[in-house]
Structure 1
Amino acid sequence: MEDFASYVGLSRPTVSKYFNNPGSVRSKTRARIERAVEQSGFRPNLFATNLKRRRTRVLGVIIPNTTDPFYMELTRRIEDIAQDAGYFPFVLSSNGDSDLETEAIGRLQSLSVAGAIVVPLGATRSNADLARLEARIPLVYVDSSPDHDMPFVGTDNVQTFHLIVDYLCRSGTAPAYLGMPDINRNAGARRDAYAAAMSAFREPARFIDIPPETTWEFERVGHESMTAALSRPAFPRTVLCANDRIAFGALLAAWEAGLKVGHGDDADIRIAGHDDHPLSRYSCPPLTTVAQNYGEIARVAMQKLIRRLEGREETGERHMLLRGDLILRRSA
């Protein structure tokens, strides 16, 4: 930094101020530094800087799966918001494994991150290392709620499942439920939300058997479970899947069985999902689903985290659930 400041012809504090927050220096100074960065290729070592600071500008993000489009989009939105606020997000994946989640927590601690946004694993209880991390830095959970009182932002499963069960019951036969493996608390929350919605419409809850395994291979689980269900004479004529990736596997199973998926007298079965996966509009047929508001989840989570980082009083609900929207397509 000293060498670069000399190269630019400015003081080190001014250059350091720019790298901490480009908007904090005058426009002419900012343009001068940016030209020098482009010419020299200089980049500050953020991790070395962290070791010297009591309060850093690095944020940690832990997600359970880097290939899932929901988490890819959530991460992209978090990164955009963090950078606009002058923070550098450092993203790690637990890959659905509690040991890797513990390792990711340790890495964030070694980087002295200022705060973190975490999608936790665990269907019944949170990782004890996360509890210790909570005691050290501001932390906000997203998507899958923790088992204790902490800031959380996610989708209101009760509202979204009531919404789609209502539509499916009114427009045809009541849906059977094809769930997801118990990889986090969302699995049970969605199962319970489906059962509650069916009870509200005075319909019996019917569950399609899924393999008793903990896996993120949702498409395979959906395909295998739906194939087994369709092999029985009285297979369900309407199926609501816990998420769109489960539904993709179910769609393949129906196609392999020679069934026409869709809504109408000429269709054999209806299949619906949840989440509005980016590929759901391109499935065959396009998938009826419920859209989660990825951008709003990221915005509210970052708002909560930044307020905590700045020591400001938190506004709104500590445990915030956002509404979803019904997306009608040809599969149901």
Structure 2
Amino acid sequence: MTPSTFFRPPWRAATAALAAAAAALAPGAHAQAQQVVWKPTHPVTLVVPYAAGGGTDATARAVAKQLGVLWGQPVVVENMPGADGLIGSRRVMEAKADGHTLLLQVPAIVLTKYMPGLKGIDPLARLTPVTAVSQSPAAIVASAKLPVKTLAELFQHCKAAATPCSLASGESLARISGKQLADEAGIANLITVNYRGTGAIVTDMIANNVNFSFTGITAALPHHKAGTLRILATQGTKRAAALPDVPTTAEAGFPQFQSVTWFGLFAPKDTPAAATQGIVAALREAVKDADVQKTIAAAGAEPVVNSPAEFAAQVQHESERLGALVKRYPLE
């Protein structure tokens, strides 16, 4: 036998012991590392690029409250309307990419680059898609003072009325939808009136200062129930859970006016994957909260929390669809 058979240097024994201990601890250490989820270290700002009172704002406030509970940090909703959402979007585009400044946007964000006067600015080039929060069909809503109760009656009224009908628009997508409607429904003299937020649209529709609008269900629903507004049709593939008696546009005979709105979170470009994944994880828990579910359901919506990659693909699909539409009906 060689001497090494009888003598083992102390450092070799120590090394072997450390290696054995590391091997024994490795599975637990790996599992512990996997359990570490990103959380904010100071207050988070959630920017809503539209005025308070609409569906985007209601969704933001519901999830912000619950995220604050889960994170142990305040999540402050900041309304920054203007320039078809660009003012609020720019606030997040220029923020530090650390997960502490987020944007809640809707599909209209993909149309910003087509807006005249905005020099082709594309917010999506400087933002990171994080996740969808919920999705809801848009609706075609009319003043109850109009002598119409169906979508077909609205179109007939507007084609025959001595005074041109007016469509309220709160953002670029509604203006494109208005152009499409005027073209395909044959309303040659339809007037589009631009607003900065849904709240003002609802007020003017109740007074019949403006006749109808494409808008989210949230703001119109209580007035529809009160009889001061009429939701003539919803624009999803199926009837909204909050409006089981209201037909879809397809059921009303106008399938070309189908549109589903998602409410999605974006972060500044180059936000670390750990942060975006942590936000998604927290949001998945937030939408389980009863108050959050109640707010989302009141909007005729449903929670749809997906991964950053899935949401990015969803945004890309919407960009292609609306890009084709804007070529037919350019923004002015």
Q: Which interval holds the TM-score relative to the shorter structure?
A: 0.3 to 0.5
Over alpha carbons, which structure has the higher Rg?
A: 2
TM-score normalised by length of structure 2: 0.42
TM-score normalised by length of structure 1: 0.42
